[in-house]
Amino acid sequence: MANDKRIEDAKKYLRFANDADSYNRQDALDDLKFSSGDQWPVEVQNSRNLEARPCLTINKLDGFIRQVCNQQRQARPRMKAHSMNSAANAKVADILTGIFKHIEVNSDADTAYDTAFEFAVRMGWGYWRVVTDYVREDSFDQEIYIKPIPNPFTVYYDPNSQMPDGSDAESCLITEVMSKKDFKAQYPNADDGGNFNMRGTGDADADWIMKDDIRVAEWWYTERKKTKLLLFSDGTQVYKEDAPSPEIMAAAGIEVVAERDTMRKSIKWAKLTGIEVLEESTWIGKYIPIIPVYGQQLIVDDKRKKYGIVRMAKDPQRMYNYWRTALTESVALAPKAKWLLAEGQDEGHENEWNLANIKATPVLRYKQKDIEGQPAPVPQRLQPEPPAAGIVEATSAINNDLQTVVGIFDPNQFAQGNMSGKAIRGQQLQIDLSNFHYYDNLTRSLKQTGRVILDLIPKIYDKERVMRIIGYDNRPEMVTINQRIVDENGAEKILNDVTVGEYDVYMDTGPGYQSKRQEAVEAMVPLLQANPELFSAAGDLVFRNMDFPGADVIADRLAAINPMAQIDEKSDVPPQVQMQLMASQKMVADLQQQIAALTLNLQHQTDVQRMKEEGQTKRKLMDVTSRAYNTETINEAKVNQNIMKSITDQNRTELDAVTKLLLKGMDSRALQEEIARRDAELGQAAVFSEREVHMTDSPFLRQEMELAQQPMTNPQIDDQMAAQLAMQEMQPQPMEQPAIPGVPMGPR
């Protein structure tokens, strides 16, 4: 492959990309050095070093850069998937969103994002890449990864690309330095002495072939071939070269209903040195998987200028360093405070006065007379001149200029005093908006990353597999994608099919999940205080957004008793419909409880009525029994009276008969017949009396029993009153009995 055309194409492209971007690369390299502390011009620094003069560097730019970068880290943009046609659905879109997050977590993508973003802030652009690889050495499953590109100078991106996210790029070249030992281990049959010697400004090494290293290039390029696009009668669209044979189409009853000329795009990849192609393949996606992140761009004289926050802040930073150095130098070189004393006053203490400005001497002794013996004043210290006020003022003014250029101001410069939280947030928002375009450019690049991943998912995750997805709350969940099942009709279906449907990416920006949780608590607590009834409907949400230990446990317990919290977000039924169904179920449950309560109430009333009737029946039976007892007693008394009367009459008759027989001399046989007749009459009277006493033969008792056996009918009354009446009627009542002289009464 030594004469492969792709090697020459790669060399030509590298030359073209380097020429088109050489000025940007030179300025960007200078920006990187300047932001890292190399801020004095070489000639100025050399001259001052020769004069032993200081060259101070007070690097304020590094703090401004960290502030912009850390604001992005606190509010990272988040990729989400949206369905775009009838073959797509919201549930699969949520799964794709979870796959986005899974890929980012699995790849440590925040490292790639932060690296590229910091380069964009410092010098104007940065890159990351999307790659595919096998999960393990012993697996056929592949994963998608997001990898950083540590040195953006090794990437030669398409100079003709106009889109801020690089979605229209047609070619790209990435260089990599490998040790010759690793190169031979990876490519044992390759030549390690190639001379692929084109190098762009900022590319790390002096040449492509070093003593111990060799430079290898990844060459991405686009091929387009003219072809025809076919539309089948079943709605399927394929390229002509991918269409099935006419026999298969005829057997399936499918025919071509339309066709048109088009261009088929494919992305090619080759890994090469200066003299041979080492590897090559066709990329499975439709985008070049190298994602740029730009800082600021301007078109000047038909040339694109790319720069970051450092480019315009160099002059104010240099001035600040110069004036701070001048201030330090003036103070350092200013004469020290001298002592003024008359000649001869230091006689005998010369060493003490000579070291007065060097050594901390506790006392200084002097003579009160001068050399001529005349009284002399007390020695005085002469104060040196203060630093020039102009230097201090210039330093302060230059500091303000630097803040104005970078768009980041010191909060202490704003009005102080009692300020509301809204006013403070407004000031912070004003500061953040000055450099929001860096964050917005990152969001665009992340959106393009989502498109690249969406394009790869149907090709990488094309089989049934269980994989992790991560929700918006960073909670992982295991789902089965492309799951084949057979429904109740015997038809085969695929659940969570990520290989069909058309989806797009939209970006969720603003505060992260943790910040939103805090804001939610701050907003919900006052609402609950104003309307405590909301706690029954949303109390679990309040505790779920709190961070103290046990908050989730409380939220779960509140959700268990809240039917509205039982919504299955992963169900095919929309949440609104689920809420309506739960509301209907709650209404049915409430009605069932009311029916049960009414049934219980009716049963209670029935029981009370039954108890009342039983009490009345028992009372009637007691009354009948008492009357029957009294009647039996009365009848027995009557029988006894009749018997006694009969016996008395018989005795009297017998006595009269005996007397008559004795007086008239009657025959004794006739007397016996008369006695027998009278005994028979007495027996008939006794039998009649016994019949009256027997309950079943007594007409009075039969009437009382029939009345007792008839059902009792009473009007509906209050349950409590009915129960009280029933209890009262259950108690034995005193019976009204007729007073019969000489006859014992019934029980009381």
Same domain, 726 and 599: yes
Whether 530 is in a domain gets the answer: yes
For 148, the 3-state DSSP assignment is: strand
Query: How wide is the angle at C-alpha 503 spanned by C-alphas 288 and 282, nearest 5°?
Result: 30
Q: Looking at 399, 433, 467, which one is the last position of a domain?
A: 433
Whether 349 is in a domain gets the answer: yes
Q: What is the pLDDT of residue 343?
A: 86
Whether 330 is in a domain gets the answer: yes
| pLDDT, greater one: 326 or 621 | 326
**Pairing relation of β-strands 290-294 and 125-134?**
antiparallel
Answer yes or no: are the C-beta atoms of 257 and 292 closer than 8 Å.
Answer: no
Half-sphere exposure of 483 toward its Cβ, with a 13 Å CA cutoff? 10
Same domain, 685 and 597: yes
- Binned at pLDDT 50, 70 and 90, residue 691 comes out as low
Same domain, 638 and 531: no
For 538, the 3-state DSSP assignment is: helix
Whether 721 is in a domain gets the answer: yes
- Binned at pLDDT 50, 70 and 90, residue 206 comes out as very low
The C-alpha atoms of residue 730 and residue 615 are separated, in whole angstroms, by: 5
Q: What is the pLDDT of residue 132?
A: 94
For 223, the 3-state DSSP assignment is: strand
Whether 537 shows a pLDDT value over 60: the answer reads yes
Same domain, 516 and 426: no
Query: How wide is the angle at C-alpha 285 spanned by C-alphas 25 and 249, nearest 5°?
Result: 155
Question: Tell me, what amino acid is at 215?
Answer: R
Counting Cβ atoms within 10 Å, is residue 329 exposed (0-12), middle (13-18) or buried (19+)? middle
Distance of CA 389 to the CA centre of its chain: 57
Q: What is the pLDDT of residue 313?
A: 92
Sequence-distant (≥ 6) Cβ neighbours of residue 253 within 8 angstroms: 233
Answer yes or no: are the C-beta atoms of 263 and 239 closer than 8 Å.
Answer: no
The C-alpha atoms of residue 578 and residue 580 are separated, in whole angstroms, by: 5
Q: What is the pLDDT of residue 741?
A: 41
Whether 204 shows a pLDDT value over 50: the answer reads no
Q: What is the pLDDT of residue 669?
A: 65
**Residue 340, domain extent:** 313-361+389-433
Sequence-distant (≥ 6) Cβ neighbours of residue 575 within 8 angstroms: 567, 569
Whether 41 is in a domain gets the answer: no
The C-alpha atoms of residue 445 and residue 98 are separated, in whole angstroms, by: 19
Q: What is the pLDDT of residue 236?
A: 84
Give the model confidence (pLDDT) of 85-102 as tens digits: 877 788 899 999 999 999
Same domain, 611 and 693: yes
Alpha helix stretches (DSSP H) within 407-505: 421-433, 436-460
Whether 357 shows a pLDDT value over 70: the answer reads yes
Same domain, 527 and 616: no
Q: What is the pLDDT of residue 718?
A: 47
**Out of 265-279, 564-578, 603-617, which region has the weakest mean confidence (pLDDT)?**
564-578
Can you tell me the mean pLDDT for 286-313? 92
Q: Looking at 433, 461, 494, which one is the last position of a domain?
A: 433
Tokens of 386: 């203060």
Can you tell me the mean pLDDT for 347-354? 84
Same domain, 551 and 600: no
Q: What is the pLDDT of residue 428?
A: 64
For 291, the 3-state DSSP assignment is: strand
- Binned at pLDDT 50, 70 and 90, residue 714 comes out as very low
Can you tell me the mean pLDDT for 200-211? 53
Question: Tell me, what amino acid is at 419?
Answer: M
β-sheet bridge partners, residue 654: none
Whether 669 is in a domain gets the answer: yes
Q: What is the pLDDT of residue 630?
A: 64
Whether 421 shows a pLDDT value over 80: the answer reads no
Whether 126 is in a domain gets the answer: no
Question: Tell me, what amino acid is at 632?
Answer: E
The C-alpha atoms of residue 122 and residue 115 are separated, in whole angstroms, by: 11
For 296, the 3-state DSSP assignment is: strand
Q: What is the pLDDT of residue 174?
A: 94
Whether 734 shows a pLDDT value over 50: the answer reads no
Q: Looking at 433, 456, 489, which one is the last position of a domain?
A: 433
Same domain, 640 and 523: no
Give the model confidence (pLDDT) of 164-184 as tens digits: 999 999 999 998 888 888 888
3-state secondary structure 197-218: CCCCCCCCCCCCECCCEEEEEE
**Out of 18-22, 491-495, 674-678, which region has the weakest mean confidence (pLDDT)?**
674-678
Same domain, 662 and 533: no
**Residue 126 CB neighbour total at 10 angstroms:** 30
**Out of 512-521, 568-577, 723-732, which region has the weakest mean confidence (pLDDT)?**
723-732
Whether 241 is in a domain gets the answer: no
Can you tell me the mean pLDDT for 646-675? 64
Question: Tell me, what amino acid is at 742?
Answer: G
**Out of 383-392, 522-531, 682-691, 720-729, which region has the weakest mean confidence (pLDDT)?**
720-729
Give the model confidence (pLDDT) of 303-350 as tens digits: 899 999 999 999 999 999 998 898 888 877 766 778 888 888 888 888
Whether 742 shows a pLDDT value over 70: the answer reads no
Q: What is the pLDDT of residue 746?
A: 40
Give the model confidence (pLDDT) of 581-594 as tens digits: 777 777 788 888 88
Q: What is the pLDDT of residue 471?
A: 83
Whether 82 shows a pLDDT value over 80: the answer reads yes
User: Measured between alpha carbons, how far apart are the two ends of the chain, in Å?
Assistant: 131
Answer yes or no: are the C-beta atoms of 274 and 261 closer than 8 Å.
Answer: no
Same domain, 634 and 540: no
Q: What is the pLDDT of residue 332?
A: 76
- Binned at pLDDT 50, 70 and 90, residue 51 comes out as confident
Tokens of 728: 């009262």
Q: What is the pLDDT of residue 16?
A: 92
Enclosing H/E stretch for 92: helix 90-107
| Number of domains within the chain | 3
What length does the chain have? Answer: 748
pTM of the model: 0.68
Same domain, 604 and 720: yes
The C-alpha atoms of residue 623 and residue 705 are separated, in whole angstroms, by: 10
Whether 259 shows a pLDDT value over 80: the answer reads yes
Q: Mean of the per-residue pLDDT values for the chain? A: 79
3-state secondary structure 361-410: CCCCCCCCECCCCCECCCCEEECCCCCCHHHHHHHHHHHHHHHHHHCCCC
Same domain, 515 and 627: no
Tokens of 381: 């210290």
The closest alpha carbon to 497, from 510, 479, 514, belongs to 479
Query: How wide is the angle at C-alpha 228 spanned by C-alphas 223 and 231, nearest 5°?
Result: 130
Sequence-distant (≥ 6) Cβ neighbours of residue 403 within 8 angstroms: 409, 410
Question: Tell me, what amino acid is at 251?
Answer: A
The closest alpha carbon to 641, from 698, 682, 680, 677, belongs to 682
Distance of CA 179 to the CA centre of its chain: 46
